[in-house]
Amino acid sequence: MIRLFDTAAQEVRELRPRDEGRISIYVCGPTVYDVPHLGHGRFTLVWDLFRRWLHFRGFDVRFVSNITDVDDKIIQRAEREQVSEAAVATKYEEVWWDSMGQLGVLRPTVAPRATEWIDTMVELVSTLLERDAAYVLDDGVYFDVSAAPDYGLLALQPLESLRAGARVDARSDKRSPLDFALWKFAKPGEPKWPTPFGDGRPGWHTECVVMSLGLLGEGFDLHCGGLDLAFPHHENERAQAVALGREFARHWAHNGFVMSDGEKMSKSLGNFTSLSDLLERTDPRAYRLLVMRSHYRSPLDVNVETVADAERALVRLDIFARRFDLPTLGGDEPVGPSTSWSEEVLTFVNETASLLDDDLNTPAALARLFEAVARTNTLADQGDDSAPEWARAINTLFGALGLGLRGEGEDLDDDSAELVRRRDDARGRRDWSEADRLRGELEQRGWIVEDSSQGTRIRRG
């Protein structure tokens, strides 16, 4: 049984799939107007972890995540750079997938672009107009939030206080300050699609409704995103579905923010670090490990110290993988459960799994895994035959979470290999000063030298 905090219910609830054994997930993807920042990295890692975990637990997961390729910010950027909107969108979508690849985030089952769904959006707006759930003003079509009786479900506060807090809008002719644009009429030079109610482009909240319902069907299982999307974005998506009498997401889940010096990292605050900057100077797996070390709903401080901390922990895991010659798992292929574990190992796997089943408690699961690493090293030191099986189980769980441990040795050049050979030779003769001198030479070349029962082993420092 998988349990997950549901934003609408404000409690951890069992995830009850619409269809037995299958889980459909929609995650709001990026607007491709700029490079992704650490916050994008976190939400994609969090939901990738969850997706992989569901797969490991035997679910058939259909995972849809969109690309918003038509938006005010794309238009602004295109104007500023004197290029087409499509050029901006294409460029940053490429950057996006490149970063996702480096992070080891699985490709969505389907990754729809908003511009591919314009017709369906136009139909939706037309229907809302017919039902009087929407109305036309001179700059666009607006949704009337009173058409969604339980509007405010995800805002987690009374409608009245939302109205009171709503920004004073230039459009005082909206029926309610909470009403939002479904369709924006094009100004000269802006991208536009023809419709009966006026040429223009969709509002942001409309695309996700039609794409989620279109690709996952009514009553799909889970809608995810960053916490800042809960209101108004997800609220507004839901309102449209409700007004149409269509069943929307059964569960809502939101991840916490990435913080920078105690403040939310965001484009508008200008305090963001781009994902590429991090990936250039760090093993991408360190970010995944860092994300796993805090609960997905908590704020996460990503800075040089916390990243370095994660990198050091990762070194230890890689050394462990090398000791047991473990294969690297969890790349493009999600990991499934193994069937042949001893009772003892199976108990450990099940206990760790139950922590992940319960609201994706990755920090607690990691604690169990690190304990098991120490235990397995001890078993191996004692020459216990069960150590390799433990090591494989640990590797499988890390792989299931998309963290591939690297057990394979690094490529070493011929000269270094020769130094290793000569050092083993010297050690065989108990010529310690020569052995130490050769170790020094290897260290000069940036290797960390370790002795093992198989002789000299070296790894990159």
Per CB under 7 A, which of residues 71..90 are in contact with RNA?
73
Per 3-state DSSP, what percentage of the chain is helix, strand, and coil (rounded to 5)?
Answer: 45, 15, 35
CB of 269 to RNA, least distance (A): 7
Q: Which is nearer to RNA, 204 or 341 (CB)?
A: 204
Which of the residues 168 through 207 are near RNA (CB under 7 A)?
177-178, 180, 204
Which of the residues 96 through 135 are near RNA (CB under 7 A)?
none
CB of 94 to RNA, least distance (A): 17
CB of 373 to RNA, least distance (A): 6
Q: Which is nearer to RNA, 152 or 399 (CB)?
A: 152
Coil, strand or helix: which one is 1?
A: coil
Which of the residues 283 through 322 are near RNA (CB under 7 A)?
293-295, 298-301, 305-306, 308-309, 312-313, 316, 319-320
Kindly indicate which of the ranges 14-22, 86-94, 266-274, 393-401 contains the residues binding RNA, using the contact rule CB under 7 A.
Answer: 266-274
Candidates 219, 239, 210; CA nearest to 23 is: 219
Which of the residues 224 through 253 are near RNA (CB under 7 A)?
225-233
The sign of the torsion formed by the CA atoms of 164, 165, 166, 167 equals: positive
Q: Which is nearer to RNA, 250 or 439 (CB)?
A: 439
Which of the residues 342 through 401 are near RNA (CB under 7 A)?
361, 363-364, 366-367, 370-371, 373-375, 377-378, 381
Phi-psi map region of 266: left, alpha, beta (phi>0 left; psi -120 to 50 alpha): beta
Amino acid letter, 64: V
Kindly indicate which of the ranges 16-24, 56-64, 222-230, 338-346 contains the residues binding RNA, using the contact rule CB under 7 A.
Answer: 222-230
| CA atoms of 286 and 288, how far apart (whole Å) | 5
Q: Encoding tokens for residue 361?
A: 């408690």
Q: Which is nearer to RNA, 17 or 208 (CB)?
A: 208
For RNA, the binding residue among 82, 172, 268, 339 (CB under 7 A) is 268
Cβ pair 206, 233 in contact under 8 A: no
Residue 13 φ/ψ, nearest 5 degrees: -130, 155
CB of 58 to RNA, least distance (A): 24
Convert residues 46-75 into a mask of x (bound to RNA by CB under 7 A) and - (unbound).
Answer: ---------------------------x--
Residue 408 φ/ψ, nearest 5 degrees: -70, 145
Question: What Å distances lie between residue 454 and 416, 424, 458, CA to CA?
Answer: 17, 10, 12
Convert residues 22-51 into a mask of x (bound to RNA by CB under 7 A) and - (unbound).
Answer: ------x-xx-----xxxx-xx--------
Q: Which residues of 327-433 form beta strands (DSSP E)? A: none
Neighbouring C-beta atoms of residue 225, cutoff 10 Å: 23
Q: How far apart are the first and last CA of the chain?
A: 43
Q: Which is nearer to RNA, 138 or 164 (CB)?
A: 164
Q: Which is nearer to RNA, 242 or 300 (CB)?
A: 300
For RNA, the binding residue among 76, 84, 157, 347 (CB under 7 A) is 157
CB of 427 to RNA, least distance (A): 5
The sign of the torsion formed by the CA atoms of 114, 120, 124, 125 equals: positive
Q: Which is nearer to RNA, 282 or 306 (CB)?
A: 306
CB of 204 to RNA, least distance (A): 5
Kindly indicate which of the ranges 191-199, 238-246, 408-416, 432-440 contains the residues binding RNA, using the contact rule CB under 7 A.
Answer: 432-440
Does the footprint of RNA cover residue 218 (CB under 7 A)?
Answer: no
Phi-psi map region of 84: left, alpha, beta (phi>0 left; psi -120 to 50 alpha): beta
Question: What Å distances lie between residue 234 and 5, 239, 353, CA to CA?
Answer: 16, 8, 30
CB of 314 to RNA, least distance (A): 9
Cβ pair 410, 460 in contact under 8 A: yes
Cβ pair 211, 66 in contact under 8 A: yes
Q: Which is nearer to RNA, 17 or 40 (CB)?
A: 40
Candidates 23, 2, 21; CA nearest to 250 is: 23
For RNA, the binding residue among 106, 122, 128, 449 (CB under 7 A) is 449
Q: Encoding tokens for residue 284?
A: 């991408």
